[in-house]
Amino acid sequence: MSDQDRNVSRRNFLKATGFGVGSLAAAVGLGRLGRTEVVIAQHSEPAEHAHGNPGMMGQVDHEANQFDPHELLTDFDYGEISEENGRTVRTWQILAVDKEIEIAPGIFFPAWVYGSATSAASRRQGLVVGQCPGPTLRCVEGELLRIIFVNGSSHPHTIHFHGIHSAFMDGIPNVGRGVIEPGEQFTYEFVANPFGCHLYHCHAFPLKRHIHKGLYGAFIVDPDPAKYSGADRDLALQRNHQTMATGSINEMVMVMNGFDTNFDGDNEVYAVNSIAFAYGMQRPIVIQREQLQRIYLVNVTEFDPINSLHTHANFFDYYDHGTTLLPTQKTIDTVMQCQAQRGIIEVSFAAFEPGLYMFHAHQSEFAELGWMGFFELEA
Amino acid sequence: MGNDNQNTNFWQRLPLWVWGLLPLVLLLLVVSLFFLANPLAFFTGNFPPLETLTIQQIRFPGQNQVELTAINGGPDPVSIAQVIVDDAYWQFNIEPATPLGRLQQATITMNYPWVDGEPLTIALITDTGATFASEVPVAVASQAVDLYRLFSLLGIM
């Protein structure tokens, strides 16, 4: 049966049962409303066609992009570990490249991106793959970090880490080594501090352009349980990737970003982890009831002062910047972040009914332009 | 001087039809040079594709129905990737399928709960991320053209 047949029969049904608003009004003695009555009756009729569906047409070719937002979600890049004078040293090889990426079905963006030799995408493909957002670099507080940066892009870039380090290692133009020209390399070196959910990004000028083109990523420093005692130690154990109880926590990275595809200073596409509607109804994030969900949330959205995350049908605890062991906000369902603000969300679906639980930016505009997704809670 | 005379004689001895043919030969030479050297490459060589898409008409044939036609007025093919209605991506049908060639026209239809008497902006976003928007100041149901009424009216006037 076509839509039209169904609508017609429904309308006939309404007429036959006298259930239109107009006829209902007449039936209860409000007759002689004349013209008004007719208008109400018209409006009470069912719509000729469905309201249609929000969203996009088609699918993004993740293989051509060489990275998949579902893989990025849980890919923590621990680099290569070595030992020097009794201290743990963590080394990453980071490459900057120019790369066109499909950010939404059929929409291609001329991006500048970072790639890491030790990211999941690179290991899977056997070559350093540029991805947006860049690899999620993860370490433990107190470790010595070495980031060997090679600029394979056609523009000068830097890596500026949000963390505590010397001015020389700040990764900004004209200070320390300054910008790294195309074809050149530089090794940033500093001690991981403080623990928390941080980020890194290119700080070459013009800054707005260099960030919004795709040069950013999450930088997570886990607390070192050995530095804490009592209840703090237990909390640090649960936050640290090396010591947390296996399988008890599902950790995810969500980098909120946007793309100004026509370069008019306004984003046409919004997303978490670059691809519009990546975790939509067709490919939701599958979660288990018995696991605590921990989201490392980073906002790098350019052009808009703030971005946000809202969970449906549930409330969460939030650790602003992730630099505390206890939540900075308890039992909230919406959190707001300015650009470069970030934090950790902990949300439990224990005792929830199975089904699709939506999450999105609560700027409705961002949500309808791509920043919208679902958790699918398994039975 | 003798040489000059000889030359003059040579040119004078040429049959008239050769003189008639000469401009044609020169013309052929210039035209073939034009195509071989491709001097217009300067204008088309290194530029990114120029996308010129125009939304010609937006119609509201019925409740929840929106229909629009777009034409590619530029020299390069244009691929319409998505449709944005009032800052929201919305599902649609397009006929014929893109890319649209030069001066090719496409009809986009969608089910969208437009509000009678309120403004509406529709933007088409292409594969390069370029957007082409058109604003409807006041959305009202489009009247189907009744040819009998139209011609009766013309007759009266």
pLDDT at A303: 96
Closest CA to A297 of A339, A343, A335: A343
The count of other CB atoms within 10 Å of the CB of residue A328 is: 14
Element (H, E) at A80: strand A80-84
pLDDT exceeds cutoff 50 at B57: yes
Contact A357, A312 (CB under 8 A): yes
Q: Which residues of B touch A104 (CB under 8 A)?
A: 81-82, 89
For β-strands A329-332 and A107-116, DSSP reports them as unpaired
Cis peptide before A194 (omega within 30 of 0): yes
User: Which residues neighbour A320 within 8 Å (Cβ) at sequence distance 6 or greater?
Assistant: A328, A329, A341, A343
A-chain residues within 8 Å CB-CB of B130? 261-262
- Which pLDDT value is given to residue B6? 58
Question: What does the block give as tokens for A296?
Answer: 């490392």
B73 CB contacts (<8 Å, ≥6 apart)?
Answer: B52, B53, B54, B103
From B111, which residue of chain A is nearest by alpha-carbon distance? A52
**Strands A196-201, A216-222: pairing kind:** antiparallel
The pair phi, psi for residue B28, each rounded to 5°, is -60, -40
- The amino acid at residue A44 is S
Nearest-CA neighbor of A190 among A47, A49, A333, A90?
Answer: A90
Q: Cβ–Cβ of A369/B89 closer than 8 Å? A: yes
Position B26: which residue type?
Answer: L
Cα–Cα dist A288/A257, whole Å: 27
Q: Which residue has the tokens 């999941």?
A: A120
pLDDT of B4 = 53
Q: What local confidence, expressed as pLDDT, does residue A227 receive?
A: 97
Interchain contact, B82 vs A48, CB within 8 Å:
no
Residue with tokens 């939304």: B55
pLDDT at A76: 98
- Tell me: the pLDDT tens digits for B41-53? 766 666 666 889 9
Closest-CA residue of A relative to B114 is A51
Backbone phi and psi for residue B11, each to the nearest 5 degrees, phi listed first: -60, -40
Q: Do B111 and A52 touch (CB under 8 A)?
A: yes
Burial of A329-365, coded b for 16+ CB within 10 Å and e otherwise, reads: eeeeeebbbebebbbbbbbebeeeeeeebbbbbbbee
Contacts of B81 in chain A (CB under 8 A): 58, 104-107
Q: What pLDDT, on a 0 to 100 scale, did the predictor assign at position B8?
A: 67
Distance (Å, whole) CA A197 – CA A161 = 12
Stretches in chain A below the pLDDT threshold 70: 1-50
d(CA A189, CA A208): 25
Spatial CA neighbour of A252 closest among A311, A304, A313: A311
* Site from A56, A102, A109, A371 to mutate, B interface, most B CB atoms within 10 angstroms: A56
pLDDT in tens, A260-299: 999 999 999 999 999 999 999 999 999 999 999 999 999 9
| DSSP assignment letter at B104 | -
Contact A262 B92 (CB under 8 A): no
Residue B82 in contact with partner chain A when CB distance is under 8 A: yes
A365 touches chain B (CB under 8 A): yes
pLDDT of residue A4: 42
Q: Check: CB of residue B55 under 8 Å from CB of residue B126.
A: no
CA–CA distance, B45 with B42 (Å, rounded to integer): 6
Contact A54 B87 (CB under 8 A): no
pLDDT tens digits for A7-59? 434 444 334 333 333 333 333 333 333 333 333 333 333 334 467 899 999 99
ipTM for this prediction: 0.83
Q: What is the rounded distance in angstroms from the CA atom of residue A27 to the CA atom of residue A32?
A: 11
DSSP symbol at A226? G
Specify whether the CB–CB gap between B65 and A48 falls below 8 A: yes
| DSSP characters over A327-369 | -SEEEESEEEEETT-EEEEEEE-TTPPSEEEEEE-SSHHHHHT
- CB spacing of A108 vs B129 below 8 angstroms: yes
- Does A319 contact B at CB distance below 8 Å? no
Q: CB B135: neighbour CB atoms within 10 A?
A: 11
